[in-house]
């Protein structure tokens, strides 16, 4: 049901870090979701967990992401201040519960509550579709796996894309433990290995290292806290799924490096500035003149919620390309109507 939705297909043209037209090589929300699903399944297979559940959570976790990545989320959250805000996990839930209309018997996709819980990431009590029991602190192991697989995929493919785009300085990257240690393996094993080939192998090796550590640390936690049931997982004193201390610190170092050297790079910031202007312009135009919205969005009975919420639903569902063209159509006298 998830992969057949229009929301899933639109992920192909939604930004990960680079705007969709920057190049065919770079990741999009769609390729990211597929990579997260693959990593989540691998971990679940090793831990003998429900692979299908983790995959369903992984494939649906980014359905609510707006165009232009996290910049889009920040812009919409600011514009929706006083109207409930905007957060992509909650929007993913709204999509699978209400906005996707593919079946005559019900709105949404009628997914299991385990999948819904995983999508919500258990960030707020009101988003927990399982229980209001305050003792329940964490979601299922499969949901925890999918959540952390998201971070593993992020780091790995942003390394790949950052090197390919020349946003990352290799001399600085080689000071980061995860990269330095794994590159050293291939420098010792192969003499004069082509860097492009070595890059793929180093990224692959990093993924293998963090997955292996993740599985070992999670198994230790299962034994340490004597987890025997799903309820034990939900009420444990800590998140059962996670990394060991050493790899957790290395992961943190890599994230900090990427944030400083890639996500804050001038080229990326320029794209974010354009994205902010584009989304804000579209949103404000529709609020000022709702007649510009499609009829289905104008009809409150079909989508529900205030004008601001329905406009937010519509704008957040746009792809990067559609949003750029819509902005041109609204504000450029040279564009067609």
d(CA 14, CA 18): 9
d(CA 129, CA 140): 12
The pLDDT tens digits of the residues spanning 62-110 come to: 999 999 988 999 999 999 999 999 999 999 999 999 999 889 999 899 9
Confidence of residue 26 (pLDDT cuts 50, 70, 90): low
Q: What percent of the chain has pLDDT over 70?
A: 90
Q: Is the dihedral of CA 90, 92, 94, 97 positive or negative?
A: negative
Q: At 119, list the tokens.
A: 């999508």
DSSP state of 15: B
Domain ranges of the chain: 6-268
The pLDDT tens digits of the residues spanning 284-332 come to: 999 999 999 998 888 776 666 899 999 999 999 999 999 999 999 999 8
State the Cα torsion 137-140-144-150 to the nearest 10°: -130
DSSP state of 108: B
Under DSSP, is residue 192 helix (H, G, I), strand (E, B) or coil? coil
Q: What percent of the chain has pLDDT over 90?
A: 74
Fold of the CATH domain 6-268: Hypothetical protein af1432 (1.10.3210)
The HSE-up count of residue 198 (CA atoms within 13 Å, CB side) is: 18
pTM of the model: 0.89
d(CA 316, CA 270): 21
The pLDDT tens digits of the residues spanning 233-243 come to: 999 999 999 99
């Amino acid at each position: 049901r998830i992969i057949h939705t229009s929301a899933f297909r639109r992920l192909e043209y939604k930004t990960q870090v680079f705007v969709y037209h920057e190049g065919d090589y770079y990741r999009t929300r769609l390729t990211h979701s597929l990579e997260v699903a693959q990593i989540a399944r691998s971990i679940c297979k090793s831990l003998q967990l429900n692979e299908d559940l983790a995959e369903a959570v992984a494939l649906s976790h980014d359905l609510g992401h707006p165009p232009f990545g996290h910049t889009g989320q920040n812009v919409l959250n600011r514009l929706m201040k006083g109207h409930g805000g905007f957060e992509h996990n909650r929007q993913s839930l709204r999509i699978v519960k209400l906005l996707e209309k593919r079946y005559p018997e019900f709105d949404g996709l009628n997914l299991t509550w385990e999948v819904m819980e995983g999508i919500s990431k258990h960030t707020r009590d009101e988003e927990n579709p399982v229980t209001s029991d305050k003792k329940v602190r964490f979601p299922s192991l499969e949901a925890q796996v999918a959540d952390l697989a998201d971070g593993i995929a992020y780091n790995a493919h942003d390394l790949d894309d950052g090197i390919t785009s020349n946003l990352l300085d290799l001399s600085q990257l080689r000071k980061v433990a995860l990269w330095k240690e794994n590159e050293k393996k291939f420098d010792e094993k192969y003499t004069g290995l082509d860097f492009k080939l070595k890059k793929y192998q180093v990224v692959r090796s990093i993924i293998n290292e963090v997955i292996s550590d993740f599985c070992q640390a999670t198994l230790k936690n299962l034994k340490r806290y004597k987890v025997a049931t799903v309820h034990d997982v939900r009420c444990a004193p800590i998140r059962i799924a996670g990394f060991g201390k050493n790899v957790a610190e290395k992961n943190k170092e890599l994230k900090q490096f990427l944030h400083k050297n890639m996500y804050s790079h001038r080229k990326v910031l320029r794209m974010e500035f354009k994205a902010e202007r584009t989304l804000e312009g579209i949103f404000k135009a529709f609020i000022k003149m709702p007649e510009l919205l499609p009829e289905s969005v104008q009809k409150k009975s079909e989508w529900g919620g205030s004008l601001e919420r329905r406009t937010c639903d519509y704008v957040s569902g746009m792809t990067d390309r559609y949003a750029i063209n819509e902005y041109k159509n609204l504000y450029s006298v040279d564009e067609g109507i």
